[in-house]
Amino acid sequence: MYPYHNKIKSRIANNELVHFEFVEKYKNISPCLLLYFRTEPFIRPIREHRFEEYNTLLQGFTKLQNE
């Protein structure tokens, strides 16, 4: 089984994340957090039950972007 969230968190830690956004619907996921990366796969969707888990990681990303 592909360690989906572990790999995404690793990519965020390696500064591959370029942008993220919350959307109403992405394919069959509603609502959805979309993470955009520099390398393939470029877009990774996150389901609502994982939003809180990513909140801390994304707050750190937002602070880095604003500096």
Per-residue confidence (pLDDT) for residue 56, from 0 to 100:
84
| Tens-digit pLDDT profile for residues 14-63 | 999 999 999 999 999 999 999 999 999 999 999 999 999 998 888 877 66
The verdict on residue 66 lying in a domain is no
Is this model's pTM higher than 0.85 or not? Answer: yes
User: Within a 10 A sphere around the Cβ of 4, how many other Cβ atoms?
Assistant: 11
User: Within a 10 A sphere around the Cβ of 17, how many other Cβ atoms?
Assistant: 20
The verdict on residue 30 lying in a domain is yes
DSSP 41: S
Per-residue confidence (pLDDT) for residue 61, from 0 to 100:
75
The verdict on residue 65 lying in a domain is no
* Beta bridge mates, 45: 34
Per-residue confidence (pLDDT) for residue 57, from 0 to 100:
85
Please report where in the chains the tokens 């990774």 appear, as a residue: 44
Please report where in the chains the tokens 């707050």 appear, as a residue: 59
The verdict on residue 12 lying in a domain is yes
Domain span at 30: 4-58
- The total domain count for the chain is 1
